[in-house]
Amino acid sequence: MAKPTPLSGFPELLPAARVVERDVVASLSRTFELHGFANIETRAVEPLDRLAKGGEIDKEIYVLRRLQAGEGEGDAGLALHFDLTVPFARYVLEHAGHLEFPFRRYQIQPAWRGERPQEGRYRQFTQADVDIVGKDELPFHHDVEVMRVMVDALDALPVPPVSFQFNNRKLIQGFYRGLGLPDVTAAIRTIDKLDKLPAETVAELLVSDAGATREQADRCLQLATIRMPDTSFVEAVKALGVEDELLDEGLAELAAVVEGCAAVDRRKVTVEANLRIARGLDYYTGTVVEIFMSGYERLKSVGGGGRYDALASDGRSTYPGVGVSFGVSRTLIPLLADGVLAGSRPVPSAVLVAVTDEESRASSEAVATALRARGVPCEVAAGAQKFGKQIRYAERRGIPWVWFPGEPHEVKDIRTGNQVEADPRAWQPPEEDLHPRVSTGSTNDDGSTTEEEQLQ
């Protein structure tokens, strides 16, 4: 068997990096559960026609075929899901009779897309989604709630500071309508190009493609440049002199979201209203958000979401929802590659129990059993080599302590060389040595150098 080569777009982590990913997933789960969100997992596959509604697909979907399918049996009709929203919508419809609404759920799973791999875009990637779904109705205050949950969750992660940039579809639509634009949808689509084109070009396109007057185009651009960390954007929009009921509703909702998220006790997440954010407006119907990570703007957003008035519908009921998704792989793979995050050791063991000779392996096992009974992860040395070799075995794995069984037992901190007598039924390593930790490099805005966070 030849040495296998990596598959492009399918990143895989070594054990120490996996420590980081597990820490992040555990931290996200903890926050989501503190806010009452239940965990679910959906199967990896969906019927193709559910992923490809109305035959329209702009995603690169992986379709499944049974290798031993008979002639003409064709595809299994199944495909791997490309996000967690479509499977969640199907789960809600399928299990609605067994769920209580509003239903709060989080889901942390891989998804697959057959697209060309590049930094931040993978063929298999893990996402973390939180959504609240109602049956026939879902009060607006849940928009504020779900965004606060994600602010709280990302603030607790050992990643560089992220910024939540909020907008509201009602605000944009109402503004364009109040402005008297003949084709609101075309205008939204054009403004969405501000990322790639200069403002002057976008203004010209608004005139040529969206039927705007030059003055309307300028006003659209003025709206899109409003970006503020608090509710003062409301005055800024009002100063543009457009009047519309939907605009007012959108302004009130956006102000409530920004205010609610700004009120979360935060260490490093920032929150702002950014009236340029559009985010698939065909899908969203109110609140929208994109999340960016400081120093990693090249990844584009590391998360996003919003309000959708019809996540799903089964003919009798409609299920409105609001949610936000965080790209776990998109965020972590570059941070791990850059050394911004690292696991402190590749093994869970805090202690290596040395073996004096193969005949006494059982007494080394007994020490390990005693340590494990008190929650200390440990392993017994693979061979009864000289102690110096066994210490180097621990060193290579980052195991901080080596235990020497005997009368008396002794335990050595191999970082300092300190060796002391110890009782296997009582000795405990320092709390910070117990589990592998996540170390973070100096990427914080405050210029701090290295900070360590405990796994679990």
Task: Output 260 or 295, the one with its CB closest to a copy of itself.
Answer: 260
In whole angstroms, give the CA distance from residue 107 to residue 454. 23
CB 79 within 8 A of CB 48: yes
Based on the shown chain and the rule CB under 8 A, indicate whether residue 61 belongs to the binding site for a copy of itself: yes
Based on the shown chain and the rule CB under 8 A, indicate whether residue 426 belongs to the binding site for a copy of itself: no
CB of 339 to a copy of itself, least distance (A): 15
Choices 71-79, 159-167, 203-211, 405-413; region in contact with a copy of itself by CB under 8 A: 71-79
Based on the shown chain and the rule CB under 8 A, indicate whether residue 71 belongs to the binding site for a copy of itself: no
Rounded to 5°, angle at Cα 173 from 291 and 228: 40
Based on the shown chain and the rule CB under 8 A, indicate whether residue 184 belongs to the binding site for a copy of itself: no
Select from 56, 70, 72, 100 the one that contacts a copy of itself (CB under 8 A).
Answer: 100
CB 154 within 8 A of CB 266: no
Residue 323: closest CA among 276, 288, 358, 282: 288
Q: Which of residues 329-368 bind a copy of itself (CB under 8 A)?
A: 346-349, 358, 361
Choices 43-51, 229-237, 327-335, 445-453; region in contact with a copy of itself by CB under 8 A: 43-51
Task: Output 192 or 379, the one with its CB closest to a copy of itself.
Answer: 379
Based on the shown chain and the rule CB under 8 A, indicate whether residue 378 belongs to the binding site for a copy of itself: yes
Based on the shown chain and the rule CB under 8 A, indicate whether residue 236 belongs to the binding site for a copy of itself: no
In whole angstroms, give the CA distance from residue 428 to residue 411. 11
CB of 81 to a copy of itself, least distance (A): 12
Select from 34, 197, 337, 420 the one that contacts a copy of itself (CB under 8 A).
Answer: 34
Based on the shown chain and the rule CB under 8 A, indicate whether residue 104 belongs to the binding site for a copy of itself: yes
In whole angstroms, give the CA distance from residue 247 to residue 255. 12
Find the radius of gyration of the CA atoms of the chain. 27
Based on the shown chain and the rule CB under 8 A, indicate whether residue 68 belongs to the binding site for a copy of itself: yes
Based on the shown chain and the rule CB under 8 A, indicate whether residue 145 belongs to the binding site for a copy of itself: yes
Choices 76-84, 175-183, 400-408, 421-429; region in contact with a copy of itself by CB under 8 A: 76-84
Amino acid identity for residue 452 in this structure:
E
Burial status of residue 325 (CB atoms within 10 A of its CB: 0-12, 13-18, 19 or more) = buried
23-to-124, 130, 237 alpha-carbon distances in Å: 20, 18, 42
In whole angstroms, give the CA distance from residue 308 to residue 82. 19
Select from 124, 213, 231, 270 the one that contacts a copy of itself (CB under 8 A).
Answer: 124
Judge if the upstream peptide bond of residue 87 is cis by omega within 30 degrees of 0.
no
Q: Which of residues 279-318 bind a copy of itself (CB under 8 A)?
A: 312-315
Based on the shown chain and the rule CB under 8 A, indicate whether residue 256 belongs to the binding site for a copy of itself: no
How many Cα atoms are found within 13 Å in the side-chain-facing hemisphere of 160? 23
The arrangement of strands across the sheet holding 419-421 comes to 378-380, 351-353, 401-404, 410-413, 419-421
Select from 20, 24, 28, 78 the one that contacts a copy of itself (CB under 8 A).
Answer: 78
Based on the shown chain and the rule CB under 8 A, indicate whether residue 81 belongs to the binding site for a copy of itself: no
CB of 207 to a copy of itself, least distance (A): 35
Based on the shown chain and the rule CB under 8 A, indicate whether residue 380 belongs to the binding site for a copy of itself: yes
Tokens linked to 18:
């996996």
Choices 109-117, 161-169, 192-200, 239-247; region in contact with a copy of itself by CB under 8 A: 109-117
